[in-house]
Structure 1
Amino acid sequence: MLKLPNHTALKEWSSVIAALARGEQVLLIRKGGIADSNFGLEATRFYLFPTNFHEGGASPAATVPITHWCEAVHTWQIRDLVTLYRLEPLVMFDRATLEQRYRFRSDQAVNVIAVRTFALPRPIEVRMNEQYAGCRSWVSLDEEIDTEGSRPILSDTELQARVQAVDALLAAAV
């Protein structure tokens, strides 16, 4: 059994996970959840724990499907909105969502993380528990997840080209 060296999972919108899974996006844009004091990269390899944006009192499902995991390959910190807007063509967020991320805890930088996304060979249903609830970025999964047979969504060459494109966009903003 191959598994990540930890049980760490990043809670992320289901729609963002879907974009990562389709290879449409390689960036995560984070500032942390309401329950976090700030955002930090707790692990360089982590599972993706799907969430829905503020479900408005909906009852949580009994299980959550874990279908992908990521490896952080590059990070940037962005401190101005104009620079953040430059990433709009590379992410599923529109300007309003990017601005909302920027304005939340306006004294903190926006963390942009380029990730290599891997599809697990089959979805793993993780039993929901209280520790996974709440608006926080990171959770520690109780289950061991076998990653053997995972496949990268993008080739090394394609991922490297996308990361270089982000570097070029951000360098042009300086």
Structure 2
Amino acid sequence: MPIAFKEWAVTVRALAEGEQLLTLRKGGVGESSKHFQLEHDRFFLYPTFDHQRNDLVRESHMPELRRALEEGVWPDGEPPLHALTRDGGIHQPDRVRVRAWAEVAGHFTITDPRTVCELSPFYVWTTDYAEKRLAWKRRHPLHVLLLRTYRIPRPVTVRVKDEYGGCRSWLEITRDLPFEGTPVLSDDEFASAAEIIAGICESRVPELV
């Protein structure tokens, strides 16, 4: 079955629009080892609303957050913007649209908050939230995944199942998905940004092998 990487819906949309080039991960309580492991180097991007909060996305990208909400298929036809869970996240829709897939173009670990700040041009979260990802489980490094993202020709609607919930990174999607489409950035644009990101990450810690 196709493998998908679970990430905030607004992050998936930003990746699919070329506005974000990386993601940060330590691993949630739902991971088998309680730590993040890079188990796949190519995967679909599954948009989730678990723990997604408006105040953790930069003001400049609020339109992306609204568009991400509108892409969900909700029971009453409209995203329940007012229906927040206790942790500030928004309830899950009945279905989500998978519109992109990604290849891992770089994998780094970082421990320095300055690195998180320097990477801020390449993600849409608030810097404070990105630093909180680093601070959680402080004894463990933060994984930085540099992603080359591709939009598939036609988005595929996937039913949200109970087993897709929880704080974990990897899902198996029970329907066919195509590894097709075009990259969201040109080769030159991506190569230029990737060089900058690698330089930031490698200035303090070595690349994982």
Tell me the TM-score normalized by structure 2.
0.74
Tell me how far 1:92 sits from its aligned partner.
1.2
Unpaired runs of 5+ in structure 1?
Answer: 1-5
What is the root-mean-square deviation of aligned Cα atoms in Å? Answer: 1.8
The aligned counterpart of 2:201 is 170
1:25 corresponds to 2:25: no
SS at match of 2:178: coil
- Residue 177 of structure 2 aligns to a residue whose secondary structure is coil
4+ aligned runs moved over 6 Å, structure 1: none
Output the CA distance in 2 between the equivalents of 1:8 and 1:171.
29
User: After the TM superposition, which residues 50-89 of structure 1 pair with which residues of structure 2 at under 5 Å, given as runs?
Assistant: 50-54=47-51, 56=85, 59-89=91-121
Higher strand share: 1
Alignment partners' CA distance in 1, 2:22 and 2:147: 6
Question: What secondary structure does 2:37 align onto?
Answer: coil
Q: Using the TM superposition, name which of 34-43 and 48-57 deviates more.
A: 48-57
Q: Point out the more displaced range, 90-99 or 105-114.
A: 90-99
Whole-angstrom CA distance in 1 between matches of 2:122 and 2:98: 24
Match of 1:161 among 192, 195, 200: 192
Identity %: 33
Return the alpha-carbon distance in structure 2 between the equivalents of residues 172 and 42 of structure 1: 25
Task: For residue 126 of structure 1, report the CA deviation from its aligned partner.
Answer: 1.0
Matched, 1:140 2:172: yes
Are the aligned partners of 1:86 and 1:170 in contact in 2 as well (CA < 8 Å)?
no
Partners of 1:25 and 1:169 in 2: CA distance? 16
TM-score normalised per structure 1: 0.88
Contact 1:69–1:119 (8 Å) recurs in 2:
yes
Distance 1:170 1:64 in 2: 33
Segments of 5+ residues of structure 2 without an aligned counterpart are 52-83
